[in-house]
Amino acid sequence: MFKNKMNDVQKIIGCEMGNKTEAKRAELRERLIAVAVAQIAARGLAGLKAREVTAEAGCALGALYTAVQDLDTLVLHVNSRTLARLGAALHAACEGAAAEPEARLLALAAGYVAFARANRRLWSALFEHRLPEGVETPEWHKRDHAVLIEEIIAPLAQLRADLAGEALLMRARTTFAAVHGVVQLSLQGRFVGVPEEDLADEVAALVRAMLRGAHLA
Amino acid sequence: MFKNKMNDVQKIIGCEMGNKTEAKRAELRERLIAVAVAQIAARGLAGLKAREVTAEAGCALGALYTAVQDLDTLVLHVNSRTLARLGAALHAACEGAAAEPEARLLALAAGYVAFARANRRLWSALFEHRLPEGVETPEWHKRDHAVLIEEIIAPLAQLRADLAGEALLMRARTTFAAVHGVVQLSLQGRFVGVPEEDLADEVAALVRAMLRGAHLA
DNA sequence: TCGAGTGATTGAACGATGTTCAAGAATAAA
DNA sequence: TTTATTCTTGAACATCGTTCAATCACTCGA
């Protein structure tokens, strides 16, 4: 009866699964994610529909639920892709700047603004999306968020030799969150947001103010 | 044929409408808003359902669409109530602080953090809610957002005598947005957010850094 | 007071949506 | 080839917001 039944470990590792099945499943998942990226980029997170994604990916509606767990999980995959691209953009911005920590942090903030403007809907989806209450974000996706603060830490450490470890990490998070807040309210077109044409200047002014303040701490 | 038909102006002013009808309509709207406030406070914005709201308010499902335009419009009314309470809280925080502008801005930020924590879901709804694409926020609701930056302007003007008018307003928006960003990412429990127990301290540190930086501008 | 006219209320119906599932097809192991 | 297992399919289901024809309540002039 259990002759051909894989146990849980084998399922997870997938070592006994046929190559054809495995490959097709992976390819379908890839296609679904690519289509979802396109849909969110074109019509926003709320414009992502299970029926449209599967139709465009060339599979039945139900196939989505074997390729990925959920429509929510599909969004997480899309967000992971976006975070990877954002991470690359921030890394490039940092590398391209002068070595002084002030210049690096200003370049990072400018890079963040540029990426958000150039990838509005995909960037918005990163923070619009909410899992249903009680559902915890899977670990593989949590880790992908690290790119948002990774590049901040080194230049911030140079400016704040008194900070290290947890305290430094915390200040990096706060710095990112402050810049992010200005960008988000502006690009959402909120009443209290800064007009988009002034966004870059205001973010630069904010970063400079934070840096001068930090310097004297 | 048109003997009893009110024209548009009369409709808007409502002077020819019977008192009973008018009163009932207003009372129903009030009840719906109150129930919606309770539902969002209890289960979040996503937990607001037309059928539950109307059932709890004691009216039929369809009545919601004569009392308010939309479920979205009902949320706007809820948000306006929340903004009014938030405005009062910020005003009180400002009044209760010392006269020095630094103390006032720190008190405002602390008041914002306290309100957000004490009214999590209602506060979240202020920024979670999005109107369908292409639908513009009505003017009456836009105005209610002013409370978010009103109290910031005076103390900020004292610190930055070089700023006035549009430039001052813009810097007030940026200051709010920066603080808001830190609070939002933290209370959402995002990976890059500051742990909630450190939120108050981090926000205070951010405000102090921005103030010192602004001082030297 | 009364009757016609107007708008409000009702709840069934509609369309859209995410998700499930039984049946059939495809694949892998024996 | 045979058999067990998994994948695929698309109809069905549950749950939304919203509409609408029928009914009701109210207002106002006569």
Q: What is the band of A212 on the pLDDT scale with cuts at 50, 70, 90?
A: confident
Q: For residue B18, what pLDDT is reported? A: 55
Q: For residue B20, what pLDDT is reported? A: 66
B residues 52..81 contacting A (CB < 8 A): none
Tokens of B215: 């001082």
Q: For residue A22, what pLDDT is reported? A: 72
Q: What is the band of B215 on the pLDDT scale with cuts at 50, 70, 90?
A: low
Contact A116, A187 (CB under 8 A): yes
Q: For residue A23, what pLDDT is reported? A: 74
Buried b or exposed e, range B23-38, using 16+ CB within 10 angstroms: eeeeebbebbbebbbe
Tokens of A106: 């200003």
Judged by CB atoms closer than 8 Å, whether chains meet at B177 and A171 is answered as no
Q: What's the CATH fold of domain A10-68?
A: Arc Repressor Mutant, subunit A (1.10.10)
Minimal C-alpha gap between B125 and chain A (Å): 12
CA distance B200 to A52: 44
Q: How many residues does chain B have?
A: 217
Contacts 24+ apart (CB under 8 A), A201-205: A202/B170, A202/B171, A202/B173, A202/B174, A203/A109, A203/A110, A203/A112, A203/A113, A203/A179, A203/B174, A204/A106, A204/A109, A204/A110, A205/B171, A205/B174, A205/B217
Q: For residue B22, what pLDDT is reported? A: 73
Give pLDDT tens digits for A106-152.
999 999 999 999 999 999 999 999 999 989 999 999 999 999 999 99
Q: For residue A175, what pLDDT is reported? A: 98
CA distance B24 to A155: 63
Region A26-33: mean pLDDT is 94
Q: What is the CATH number of domain B12-68?
A: 1.10.10
Helix (H, G, I), strand (E, B) or coil at B48: coil
Range of lowest pLDDT (A7-16, B26-35, B40-49, B93-102): A7-16
Assign residue A189 a region (left: φ > 0; alpha: ψ between -120 and 50; beta: otherwise).
left
Q: What is the band of A215 on the pLDDT scale with cuts at 50, 70, 90?
A: low
Q: For residue B23, what pLDDT is reported? A: 75
CA distance A11 to A17: 8
Region A69-76: mean pLDDT is 97
Judged by CB atoms closer than 8 Å, whether chains meet at B178 and A205 is answered as no
Q: For residue B12, what pLDDT is reported? A: 34
Q: Over 90: is that where the pLDDT of A47 sits?
A: yes
Q: Over 90: is that where the pLDDT of A171 sits?
A: yes
Does domain B79-215 match CATH 2.60.40.420?
no
Q: What is the band of A4 on the pLDDT scale with cuts at 50, 70, 90?
A: very low
Judged by CB atoms closer than 8 Å, whether chains meet at A192 and B130 is answered as no
Q: Over 60: is that where the pLDDT of B203 sits?
A: yes
CA distance A106 to A108: 5
Quick one: which H or E segment has residue B103? helix B101-118
- Among all protein residues, pick the one whose CA is nearest to the C1' atom of D9: A60
Give pLDDT tens digits for B143-176.
999 999 999 999 999 999 998 899 999 999 999 9
Q: What is the band of A164 on the pLDDT scale with cuts at 50, 70, 90?
A: confident
Cα end-to-end span (Å), chain B: 70
Q: For residue B19, what pLDDT is reported? A: 64
Q: For residue B86, what pLDDT is reported? A: 98
Q: What is the band of B11 on the pLDDT scale with cuts at 50, 70, 90?
A: very low
Minimal C-alpha gap between B40 and chain A (Å): 13
CA distance B79 to B83: 6
Buried b or exposed e, range A145-162, using 16+ CB within 10 angstroms: bebbbebbbebbeebbee
Region B180-208: mean pLDDT is 97
Give pLDDT tens digits for A185-203.
999 999 999 999 999 999 9
Q: What is the band of B26 on the pLDDT scale with cuts at 50, 70, 90?
A: confident
Give the CA B51 to C1' D14 distance in Å: 14
Q: For residue B5, what pLDDT is reported? A: 33
DSSP calls for A94-150: HHHS-SSHHHHHHHHHHHHHHHHHHTHHHHHHHHH--PPTTPPPPHHHHHHTTHHHH
Residue B95: how many other CB atoms lie within 10 Å: 10
CB-based contact (8 Å) between B163 and chain A?
no
CA distance B204 to A170: 13
The residue written with tokens 């996503």 in the block is B46
Range of lowest pLDDT (A74-78, A211-215, B29-33, B88-92): A211-215
Q: For residue B8, what pLDDT is reported? A: 33
pLDDT: which is higher, A21 or B175: B175
Tokens of A213: 């303040």
Domain spans, chain A: 10-68, 79-215
Give pLDDT tens digits for B33-87.
999 999 999 999 999 999 999 999 999 999 999 999 999 999 999 999 999 999 9
- Among all protein residues, pick the one whose CA is nearest to the C1' atom of D19: B62
CA distance A122 to A126: 7
A158 vs A111, A114, A164, B45, CA distance in Å? Answer: 20, 25, 10, 42
The residue written with tokens 């009369």 in the block is B10
Cβ neighbours of residue B162 under 8 Å, at least 6 residues apart? B217
Could you say which DSSP state residue B68 is in? S
Buried b or exposed e, range B144-173, using 16+ CB within 10 angstroms: bbebbbebbbebbeebbeebeeeebbbbbb
Quick one: which H or E segment has residue B205? helix B196-215
CB-based contact (8 Å) between B173 and chain A?
yes
Region A84-101: mean pLDDT is 96
Topology alike, domains B12-68 and B79-215: no
Q: What is the band of A70 on the pLDDT scale with cuts at 50, 70, 90?
A: very high
Query: How does the average pLDDT of chain A come out, rounded?
Result: 90
Nucleotide nearest to A71 (CA to C1'): C18
Q: For residue A15, what pLDDT is reported? A: 34
Q: For residue A20, what pLDDT is reported? A: 64
CA distance B54 to A50: 30
